[in-house]
Structures are given as C-alpha cells and as structure tokens.
Structure 1
Amino acid sequence: MKSPATLVLSLMLAVSLPAQFDLATPKAPVATKKPKDVTVHEDKRIDDYFWLREKENPEVKTYLEQENAYTEAALAPAKELRAALFKEMRGRIKEDDTGAKVPYLGWLYYTRTEKDKQYPIFCRIADLPGAAEEIILDLNKLGEGKPYVAIGHYRVSDDGTRLAYSIDWTGYRQYEVYVMDLATKQLVPQQIGKVADLEWGAGHDVLYYVTENEAKRSDKLHRWTLSAAAHELLRTENDELYNIDVAKSQDGRWLFSTAESKVTAEVFALPAADAKGAFRSLQPRIEDVKVQAEHHGDHFYFVTNRDAKNYKVVRAPESAPTQTEDVIPHNPAVKIEGLTPLARYLVIEERENGLPHLRVYNFADGKSARLDMPEAAYEVSESSNWQFDTDEFRFEYQSMVRPRSTFSANLATGQRTLVKQQEVLGGFDPKNYRAERIWATMRDGVKVPLSIVYRADIDRSKPQPFWLYGYGSYGISMPITFSGNRLSLLDRGVVFAIAHIRGGGELGEEWREAGRMEKKMTTFNDFVDCAQWLVDNKWTTPTQLVTSGGSAGGLLMGAVLNQRPDLFKAALVVVPFVDVLNTMLDATLPLTTEEYVEWGNPNIREQYLWMRAYSPYDNLKPASYPNVLVNVSFYDSQVPYWEGAKYLAKLRTLNQAKGTATLLHTNFGAGHGGASGRYDALHDTARDYAFFLSALGLAK
C-alpha cells in the first residue's frame, strides 16, 4: 500500500498546479501614498510609504490590522490544512519533557516543559540520590497575561548562591536584570534595565553588566556591588562602530570585556577577584584584526586573525599578553571559530569545507586530534559546559535526518555518553528520509554547497516541489539542523535545501569577504544561480520552487525576487531588511552605524551606490511577481516592522501577475525572533507552511 506521501507524489506533475488562495473577499488593502522626498547624492527618490514608520500613529496600526485580516481571508481555503499542520507538528513534540541536566557545584541545572504550557520551567536538583527538585523560574507564571516573555541571560554565581538573569518582556530585546537568592528564591530589591550583557565577578556580591544607548548600541560597562547597592561606570565605548560585552573565563579567574566591530576587536581584562580594579587592554585595537580571549594556567589564549585569514590559536603570559606564540597555527583550509579550555584539554571549534569540527588539544603533550562524527553532513557545536576541572566535554550533534542529541565526551578515554536525545513522536523513522550535500556551479565558476533533505520514496527521475532557503550575510554559517516541523512538508513531497552562498562563513573568511560591502551582489547572484542549477538539473521547476529567508535573508529574498521573479512560485519573506537605503541613512536606528562595515556607509557616495544597486525596496519595478508572504513583528528592534510593510505595499502596486497573493502579517506581540510561546510559534509555522502548500496547489 502506498504511503500518503507516495500518493501525493504520484499525482505530482512537472506542470504548475493552480494556487489555492482566496483573493476576492475582502479586497486587498491599499496603503495611502504620502510622498516624501528622500533624495541623497543627487539620486532622486520619492518614498510613498515613509509614513508607515510612525509607530504611534493609529492609522498605521489600522492599516497593519487590515493586512492581517486580508492575509487570513486569503488563506481561508487552507483553514483545515493549517489545523492539520499544527496538530501534526504538536504531535511530534514530547510536551512533558526534561532537558539535559548540567552539573555545577553539586547541583544539576535544567529546564523542563509541561503539556499545554507555552514556556520552559527552570529548575535545579542536588546531585544526590533522592534529592527534590527546586523550581527557580517558571516562565509560564512570569508571562501570565503577557503576549511575550523570554529569558536573555542566566548566570549562577561561582559560589552557587545567587542567580542573575534577564528578561525581555516585549520582543524588543531590551532586557531587565534580576538577582535571586537561590536558597530562598527571593529577589534582590533593585533591578536594572536596558542591559545587553552581564557576568558575575568572584563570589556573589559583584555583578558586571553592559547597558545600551537609545540606538541599542552596547556602549557602557558597569560594576554593581550588591551589598553596597553601588553602581560604578567602568568603561564607555564612544566609537559608533563598536559594541562591548562582558564574560568570564572558563576557569573563573578572569573577566573579559571585548570592544568589537564587524571587523575589529580589542580585549580588556580584569581578575575576577578584583572587585575594585580597572579593566586593562590585553590586545590593542588594530584595524581588521579580531580576537577572542580565554585563560588557562598562567597564560591567556586567543583566537585571532592577525596574520591568519582563517584564524589561529595563540597564547601569551599574563605578564606580557602581546607576546604571543602559536598553539594551533593558521591553516588556510580551516577556519577556527572558538575555543573552550578545561583543566587538561583545550577544545577548538573549527570549520573545514563547510562542515564544523571539534578539535581536542592536550595541554600535557601539545598534541591535538578531531572528534569523529558519524555522518558525512551534520551540525556539531558546544553544549553547556559550566565546569572547568573535568575531562567531560558536552557537545550537541544533529543532521537533517537525525534529531538533536547531547553527548558527553570523556577527553581522556575517548568514551562518549548520550546525555539527551530529542524525542520525535508521531512515528518518525529516520530511514524514511535522505540527506545529501551537493555542489552547484555559479556563473563565475565557483562551486557553492547545498544541503538537501527529502523523503526517500520520492521519484527522483521527476522534478519535485522544492523549498530553497538562504541567508548569506555577516559570515554566519547556516547550520545543517534537524526540524521536526519540517517533516510536515517533507511528508507531502516537498524537498528542502539550504544554499550556503557567499557572504556566509561556511567556507571561511574569503567566503564571507566575497559577499559583503562592494561585493554584496555576489550573495544574490549565488542564490539565483543555485535555484537555476536546481531547475537545470531536474530537481524542480520554477512552478514548483518556493523560497524563504529572514532578516538579512529577507534582504536576500527581496533582491532575488527583483532579479528573477520568474524563477519562483512563492516567497516567504520574514522580518526582512529590505529598506536598505533609508535604514542605513538613519543613524538613530539600532544596528545602523555598526553595520557601515558590513553593507557600507551611504553617506559616502560610492558606498551609497553599492546599496542603491540592490536595495529591494528601491529596486522594485513593474513585473510579474510570485506569491509573496511578508512576516514582520511590531516590536522588532533589529529590523523595524515598517521595512516589510512598506515593501509589500509597494510590491502590490507594481505586481503585474494575475492571481498571485501578496500578503503581509504583523505579529503585534513579538520581536525579531517571532513568538515567544512554543504553541504560538507552531501556529505561525502552520500558517507559513499552509502558504507554501497553497502556492504549490497542495493545500487540499
């Protein structure tokens, strides 16, 4: 007997099935045009929708609500499908579940979830037989009656007596800090707001924290002595390209505060036990040199790209931190991304040929080797390692067909223990799915990797419905992760792929450099070429190809649709950075000034022209666009809601295609990362998947 997916596949043809949207009732909202001259560098630009940024204007909210109603009406034919998708995805989740328990100072710290509750519960239990659980924070109670609540930081003092944590109450990523006595669960009377980072000094009386300015740039480092209720400003970073942070070394002996731009970093340090001292510079600020700091024994350890394009690990004595020697030399084929020192071993996170690796360096003999991984394409990363004097190192492993697992590796014996594996209910069997890693050739001859997953029983001799995802910015490598939700599309015959395009970090720093600043257009060309390669090689057809991207990936979507609107059936454009010129010309907005070294500074005419060539909002033109759903969040601090709203309003007026959906959804209770509650997030995913399936003609 054929499976439901096989039955669907047997009906699929390489021709277009009609999209299943209701675009007649009600009619699409029409945003009022209020022309504003935004001319710069003698480049005449008139922005009809600039007014949509007036967040407190009732007319703006009314318009966004009308768009939400229209989106719901357009998706009404898929109402039953959305309910089915939600039920399927929820059915794969173990709703009453407990996360991996993290050992620290005689306690085990963990989170757990309960059925029908949106948020995790933060707990601990003494590492003793028969010990009783202690609930530290129940986000369900904290978030009761609120549309949004999320934990930012969660720091236990190094004597285990106090917890410092931060909460975002709106989605704006503006955190308030609270300090709890872990024995009594009582809070210290004072709280502080607009905190971007925090860390304990030695003991439980001194807390270091970083605050942000009105543009959300993290610019001030403070010291809070709780017993004296005293706050002291330690450092101010005045360069608008830089943010500062604060962190403690793995051995707990040093505090580091890094001033960092997108391309340069300077590290400051202070002994954790020095409750009155000043931070001193360890590594000076050198343009285009980045550095991360750690500590072991009587040496500082640094990951740096100084004379090492893809980074190397060096060390220097505490007394002479600039006199470095190589520990892991530079390898042009391997990018070093981070390190974690334990008492006897140093674990280095590396990336080669697009895949992550963990290298273990033995302090005793100076030898190093990688941990073996069981699959050809996978994702591996450090898990929670709170202890220093241990040979146990925890890491997380997953692939597109293998759920996330937490392992503990004994670095002395090589033995691995499975600590926790994500349980996928609903009859999931990894043998029903197949993952591949293929390389597509770009227009300039460069090969770009694609990570692909699909049901093993699809007919590979025919083109199939296909979902292509991309990002390609900031040197970020798109992880090859498992998704229980995604199974709902795979089981309906949709193939999924990630295009690891230039501008990301998958193939090292040169990969990033090839897709930023004046070379940013390469990112968009790569994605178009990946899509065309999939069509040319019979994976799919333009009438079966849907695509998505969020944030800077939303910029990718906008630029790609302007370049090749004919290549896609539908696009999901999430919290998109599409109003590039207006945003980068407004230095009062979050992220603007610090990203001058990512996109360019539009106050400089040459760099303005780089962005002018691809800014999605400014390059919309009359064309036949595919089905488009734009998702924005009203409290998004990273990419304001109005960027996506303006983009959709303008696109709709220029769209010459008949019968294609142009939809906008605004989440009025979330920020850049979307809904904070797990069930709310599932409903949003069900809507997005229903949009894709409706566009593909597979909604019924």
Structure 2
Amino acid sequence: MSVESVVAAPVAKKVPVEREHHGDVFIDEYEWLREKQDPEVLAHLAAENAYTEAQTAHLQGLREKIFDEIKSRTQETDLSVPLRIGDYWYYSRSFEGKQYGASCRCPIDAEAVGIDAWTPPQLEVGAEIPGEEVLLDVNALAEGHEFISIGTVAPSRDGQLLAYSFDVLGDERYTLRFKDLRTGELLADEIVGTTGGATWSHDGTHVFYQTVNEAWRPDTVWRHRLGTERAEDVKVFHEPDERYWVGISTTRSEKYLIIGLHSKITSEQWLLDSATPEGEFQVILPRREGVEYSVEHAVIGGEDRFLILHNDVVDGVKAENFVLCEAPVADPSRMTQLIGHSDDVRLEDIDAFRDYLVLSYRREALPRVAVWPLTESGYGERRELDFDLELFSAGAGSSPEWEQPTLRIGLTSFLTPMRIYDYVPATGALLLRKEAPVLGGYDPDEYVQQRDWAIAGDGTRIPISLVWKKDAVAEGPKPLLLYGYGSYESPIDPYFSVARLSLLERGMVYAVAHVRGGGEMGRLWYEQGKLLSKKNTFTDFIDCARHLIDTGVTAADRMVADGGSAGGLLMGAVANMAPELFRGILTSVPFVDPLTSILDEDLPLTVIEWDEWGNPVADKEVYEYIKSYSPYENVAAKDYPAILAITGLNDTRVLYVEPAKWVAKLRDTKTGDSQLLLKTEMSAGHGGVSGRYEKWKEIAFEFAWLLDTVGLSGE
C-alpha cells in the first residue's frame, strides 16, 4: 500500500468494557488496544502510522531541510571536557556519520603537580592523544539492534575494571557486563534485568546493583562478587512497600556506601562502611511519613560529620523548602542547623569535598550554586556564583574526586550553548574549559530571551520564559510554541538547543509556561499543582496562553502547545478545557488515560504514583477529581485543535495504549475537521528513538508538522 493511497483515517473498532469504582460505571470502548501482542492491535498501530505518514508526506522536503540544518550546526566529531578520576582523564567522543559515541580515557601526566594536575588536557579533534584507551564504543555494541540505551559506564576506583550496562529494547531493563581494562578482555560475568546502575565497592571486588519487581519498581539491591555466578549474588536490601524506589551510591569521600529509598513524600537512608562491603547496612534515620532527607559525608574541623537536608518540622513549622543540618556520624539524630528554612529559597542538594561544600538551590525560578569553604575550625564564607544573565541554568557538574581543588560547573541559557567551567574555590577564578560549538555563524546577539509573568485566576503570578530571533519575528501576533510540564516538582529551566534554531530562524517564538506542579518556585509551587490541586497546572497553562494572546505576542490561530509524558496529561486536559486557544497540540508519550492506569495496582509504577495524584482505589473524592480532568474520559463533541501524538511501543512508564485510545476516541467524538495523528515508534520506549541522527529525524518530523500547523511550512 503506497503512502498516497492512505487517505482515510483509521477507525478503531469499539469493544465495550465496563469499569466500576465507587458506584461509578465507565464504559471503555477502546481498552482492547492494550493487548500489545494482538495482531489486530499491531495492525491498527501500523494503520495509524501509515495515515500519519500520508498526511505529512507533503512535508518531506521540509523535514529533510530541518534535519540538514541541525546536522550542519552540529560539530559531529567532538570530544567532551576530560574529567579526572584517579590516575586517568575520562572523556567521551562523537564521530561524524556515527549514531553513537564512545567512552575513552588517557593517563594523567605523572609529572603534573598541584593545580596543574587538575587542568584538563586540551584535546583536539583529529589529534593523537597519548595513551588513549577506548573503554566502550556504543556503535559496536549497537550492531544488530534497532535501539540501544546505555545505563552506566563505571570504572572501578583503581581504573582496572569497567562496569557497563545496556538496554536494546527500550523497556529500561539493562544487561550489566564487565571488562578488564588491563587486558581488554570481556569478563564472563553477565547480569540481566538490572535497572542500569552499578556501584563499585572501594576495593573493586564487588559491584552493587538493583533489580525490579513485577510492577517494574526498583525494590532490591544485590551484591555481586566479580568472577562468581549470578546465583551466588547476595540480596543485601529489599523494600516490600510498593510506594518506595530503592537505589545505591557511594559518598564522594568513598568512606560509605548508602542505600537510599524514597516515595514521593518520604525517604530513608541506610549506611555501610565501604571498607567492609560484605557487612550489614544500618539505617541512618528511620523513615517517618511525609519527611524527606538526604545525607552527605563531610569532614568538619577534623571530625566525620553528616550533612543532612530535610523537610521535617522545625520550631513547630514544616520546613517545606528544606533546611541544612550537620550531625555526628555516631548519632545522626543530634542535628545542628546550618541553614534555616526560607519561603523564597528551595534547598536542593549539598555536595561535600575535602576543602569545601557546594550548595545547590533555587531562587526566583532559577537554579543557583554557592561554594562554602571549610576551615580548620568549621565553615568559611559562603559565595554564590554570579553569571550576569537574566535567564540561565547553572549547576555543579560531575566532580567525583574527594580531594579536588576545582569544581566542574555547567552553565547554559536559551541563548548560551552549554559552557563547562572549572571553578577554583581557593581563588574564586572561573575558568572556561569549553563552550559547545554551534557551526554556521550563530550569534547570540541576534536573539532575545526574557521573563514575563501571567496572572492566574487565583491571583498567583506564573513565570513565562520566551526566546525569539530579533529580525525573524514579524510585527503583530507571532507564531508561538508554548511548552509546559508541571509535575513531580520537575523544573523546566532555560537551556540551549541547536535544533530549536530551526524554529527561531523561521520566525517562531519559543515559550515555556512554568506552571504549578513543577519545581521552579520551590516546594509549595509543587504542592499547589498535585493531588486535589492538580487542576492548577492546567489552568495556569491556559492563563499563560491567554496572557500571551491578550498582550499581542501571539494569537490563538498561531499558537501550538507542547508537552510530553506527564506534560502530555497537561496537553490532553488543555485540549478539553480550552481548545479554542490553540491551533495545534504536540505531545510525546502522553499520560492521557490517568484514571485507568492509576486504578490498576498491577501496572508498572502505579502505587508509587498515588503520592503524586492520589489513590482513586481507596478514596472516592480522588477518583471523582481525577475523572473530572482525565483527558481520555473528558473527550467531548467539540472542535479540537490539530493534534500530533507520538509514543513508543516498548514504553514502560506511559504505555502506548494511552495515546492510542485517546486518538481513537477523539476521532470518533470530536466535531470539525482538525487533523488527528498518532505515530508509534515500534522499537522505542519512553525516551523515544535512539541514535542521534534518528533523534534529529524525529525532531525534524515534529518541527515540520508544527511549522505547517501555524502556516510557516513554506517560509
């Protein structure tokens, strides 16, 4: 069947299935699409793909042009800034014409001393690097597979062994392998079905890893001794409570191994001296419902101490935005407060080095970094790093060494390609190591980024970030892409995108609505957009869209909304609540059938999600509230915007069936002649296709569609 012959939209058959909870009966006519192995389901998805391709065939030339633009602006053969671990500099390579990169290393100059030993070598593309070793070439690993994702590339502390993991299906279940870096030999040890991570014991004899239960929840930590059969692996920790995820890491000091478990609202940490990897982990602070905490090991005034971030009650008031305390290792409950609670500052992380601490926090909807020197008597003067930008994202990069006189910092903005700095706490020097190259004469002065504010219906000020090219934007209402997420306290911070230039060059404005439910404005911002306040996320986005229309920035027939995963729930809700505000809606792996998913305790991730959305199984009020905004259940006979939904058949977080059912119901119910498209990647998961060229093709497909939707496909 040729693309040209596909003219009619697929019509999914109706098979009524009754679902009853709390006395409410819902008839689901498309639940049959959940049977992933059913040939009829696969045929329907294939028909949707054929229809989507036919409906967008006229954009093939534009897709190719956008792909070529992304490719031409990208330095395809490149090297990352080397990072010191032990006696080696570790870095990654990319290669022109190859989908994937390689992890490499070279030895540190033995004659280097002091600060010079921390100055990364200036690696040049095409130049020979003395002593270079290719640790893992992902291109070779990917041969014979349509998809590959790397979970970890982790050298042992002495640099003699490498642990790495990979997933070739997109279901986020990884195979863990080991390589002897002294000989290049691949060891016989193979562990299938891990979550992707690997944590070495200090002596390099053992590796700790996690596995998942039937609901695909990371619930168990195992200890594997190199050279032994997997059947001999020891289960060192298991968490039976379905609300908690389990992970394991090591402190930067390498003195302790820490098992961390967390639900959406509660956490607990367990500790083991790394010198005794076969010992028993001990709880640091027992879990208490609604209290989150994290622990970092530091040496303060010559004594081992714990630095503890927590949101427990302090002086009778819940420390929603967290406080920082220190405590003796022998008794972590004896805490002394170092930084108190602030309504305006959300403390996010504390990193300890031998000579200083690094504090990460948020203020005024932007991430901040401060460095705090340690002295013989305790603490010096804390200094916030200043980057002299209105909008930016800055954060501590990977700096794994305990005795490290420099701190790796990353900085980006809508206009600033990623910059990698080394900050020297002893002098305050900020040393630029690299700015990501943008080929083709990119000039940031030709663009504008700014912050605007919309007023929500309840009077709350909602930040909006905007970026556009000065000369490309015409007078009057402008074509605009409005992005939103608004869940899990995840912030959408300013970042540079080479691909986005293809939109800006054609006159589009790119905007981000920093709606409640995200993390931009602190914990209370998140709390006001979850559970029985979730609708604030949707109404905030709508109010941002109306603000951009009312102020003349754009118009309803020139605006496309965009969001994926939980942001896809936002897109589906907005489509039902205010379809008249948007010309189109673009959404990837959208969570558009939340009630069906959250009611099914056997589905992956369901139980842990109850702290985010509420438990509709046990609580009728929660059931009715989620049903009142569920995109799938609220599809109505109205004129919807054009919609492009993209999903992955192997997605384990948001199952493909959700957008498949949603599009089928929209097509059957809506009025008007708006275009509804579903594209299913048949060998991908939640993160979409793998390989950078395939990702660029996917971006080009989406961009061509949205440019066409707002009338810019010919410009």
Using the size of structure 1 for normalisation, the TM-score is 0.95
1:571 to 585, 590, 599: 585
- 1:47-446 equivalence runs, <5 A: 47-128=28-109, 131-196=130-195, 197-229=197-229, 230-297=232-299, 298-307=304-313, 308-364=319-375, 365-446=379-460
2:24 to 23, 40, 43: 43
Q: Distance in 1 between matches of 2:540 and 2:134?
A: 49
- Consecutive unaligned residues of structure 1, counting only runs of 5 or more, are 1-21
Runs ≥4 residues deviating over 3 A: 22-25, 227-230, 458-461
Residue 629 of structure 2 aligns to a residue in which SS? coil
Which residue matches 2:116?
none
Equivalent pair of 2:517/2:537 in contact (CA under 8 Å): yes
Equivalent pair of 1:27/1:70 in contact (CA under 8 Å): yes
- 1:8-23 equivalence runs, <5 A: none
Which residue matches 2:648?
633
Cα deviation, residue 673, structure 1:
0.7
Q: Deviations over 1:7-49 (max 9, x none)?
A: xxxxxxxxxxxxxxx9994211111111111122221211111
Equivalent pair of 1:626/1:657 in contact (CA under 8 Å): no
Cα deviation, residue 222, structure 1:
1.3
Equivalent pair of 1:379/1:398 in contact (CA under 8 Å): yes
Q: Distance in 1 between matches of 2:373 and 2:555?
A: 51
Q: Distance in 1 between matches of 2:396 and 2:337?
A: 23
Which residue matches 2:666?
651
- What amino acid is aligned across from residue 87 of structure 2 in structure 1? G
Cα deviation, residue 145, structure 1:
2.0
- What amino acid is aligned across from residue 212 of structure 2 in structure 1? E
Cα deviation, residue 221, structure 1:
1.3
Equivalent pair of 1:112/1:122 in contact (CA under 8 Å): yes
Q: Give aligned pairs, total.
A: 678
Equivalent pair of 1:345/1:361 in contact (CA under 8 Å): yes
- What amino acid is aligned across from residue 250 of structure 1 in structure 2? R
| 1:588 and 2:602 matched | yes
Residue 387 of structure 1 aligns to a residue in which SS? coil
Q: Distance in 2 between matches of 1:210 and 1:79?
A: 44
Residue 631 of structure 2 aligns to a residue in which SS? coil
- Consecutive unaligned residues of structure 2, counting only runs of 5 or more, are 111-128, 314-318
Describe the shift of the 1:460–1:437 C-alpha distance in structure 2 as closer, same or farther (beyond 3 A): farther
Q: Deviations over 1:178-221 (max 9, x none)?
A: 12212122222121122224311111101111111121111111
| 1:464 and 2:478 matched | yes
Q: Deviations over 1:96-142 (max 9, x none)?
A: 11111111112111111111100011111112396221111111111
Q: Distance in 2 between matches of 1:516 and 1:23?
A: 45
Which residue matches 1:605?
620
Equivalent pair of 1:153/1:166 in contact (CA under 8 Å): yes
**Farther off after superposition, 194-203 or 274-283:** 194-203
| 1:493 and 2:507 matched | yes
Equivalent pair of 2:223/2:234 in contact (CA under 8 Å): yes
Equivalent pair of 1:460/1:539 in contact (CA under 8 Å): no
Residue 246 of structure 1 aligns to a residue in which SS? strand
Q: Distance in 2 between matches of 1:326 and 1:366?
A: 16
- What amino acid is aligned across from residue 162 of structure 1 in structure 2? L
Cα deviation, residue 322, structure 1:
1.4
- What amino acid is aligned across from residue 138 of structure 1 in structure 2? D
- What amino acid is aligned across from residue 480 of structure 1 in structure 2? P
Equivalent pair of 1:591/1:638 in contact (CA under 8 Å): yes
Using the size of structure 2 for normalisation, the TM-score is 0.93
Q: Distance in 2 between matches of 1:182 and 1:386?
A: 20
Residue 70 of structure 2 aligns to a residue in which SS? helix
1:547 to 561, 565, 572: 561
Describe the shift of the 1:588–1:666 C-alpha distance in structure 2 as closer, same or farther (beyond 3 A): same
Cα deviation, residue 461, structure 1:
4.6
Q: Distance in 2 between matches of 1:570 and 1:591?
A: 30
Q: Distance in 2 between matches of 1:275 and 1:699?
A: 60
- What amino acid is aligned across from residue 179 of structure 1 in structure 2? F
Residue 436 of structure 1 aligns to a residue in which SS? strand
Equivalent pair of 1:23/1:661 in contact (CA under 8 Å): no
Which residue matches 2:120?
none
Cα deviation, residue 373, structure 1:
1.4
Q: Deviations over 1:521-542 (max 9, x none)?
A: 1100000010011000100000
- What amino acid is aligned across from residue 52 of structure 1 in structure 2? L
Q: Distance in 1 between matches of 2:181 and 2:351?
A: 27
Q: Distance in 1 between matches of 2:153 and 2:336?
A: 35
Equivalent pair of 2:155/2:161 in contact (CA under 8 Å): yes
Residue 594 of structure 1 aligns to a residue in which SS? helix
Residue 688 of structure 2 aligns to a residue in which SS? coil
Equivalent pair of 2:246/2:259 in contact (CA under 8 Å): yes
1:623 to 618, 634, 638: 638
**Farther off after superposition, 632-641 or 40-49:** 40-49
Residue 510 of structure 1 aligns to a residue in which SS? helix
Equivalent pair of 2:148/2:690 in contact (CA under 8 Å): yes
Q: Distance in 2 between matches of 1:96 and 1:687?
A: 24
Residue 65 of structure 1 aligns to a residue in which SS? helix
Q: Deviations over 1:306-360 (max 9, x none)?
A: 2321012211111111111122222221101112111110001110010110011
Q: Distance in 2 between matches of 1:24 and 1:520?
A: 44
Equivalent pair of 1:215/1:589 in contact (CA under 8 Å): yes
Equivalent pair of 2:454/2:547 in contact (CA under 8 Å): yes
Q: Distance in 2 between matches of 1:417 and 1:361?
A: 18
Equivalent pair of 1:158/1:252 in contact (CA under 8 Å): no
Equivalent pair of 2:6/2:50 in contact (CA under 8 Å): no
Residue 613 of structure 2 aligns to a residue in which SS? coil
Q: Distance in 2 between matches of 1:528 and 1:568?
A: 10
Residue 418 of structure 1 aligns to a residue in which SS? strand
- 1:524-539 equivalence runs, <5 A: 524-539=538-553
Equivalent pair of 2:472/2:506 in contact (CA under 8 Å): no
Describe the shift of the 1:57–1:87 C-alpha distance in structure 2 as closer, same or farther (beyond 3 A): same
Residue 388 of structure 2 aligns to a residue in which SS? coil
- What amino acid is aligned across from residue 394 of structure 2 in structure 1? V
- What amino acid is aligned across from residue 643 of structure 1 in structure 2? E
- What amino acid is aligned across from residue 353 of structure 1 in structure 2? E
Cα deviation, residue 223, structure 1:
1.2
Which residue matches 1:10?
none
Equivalent pair of 1:570/1:627 in contact (CA under 8 Å): yes
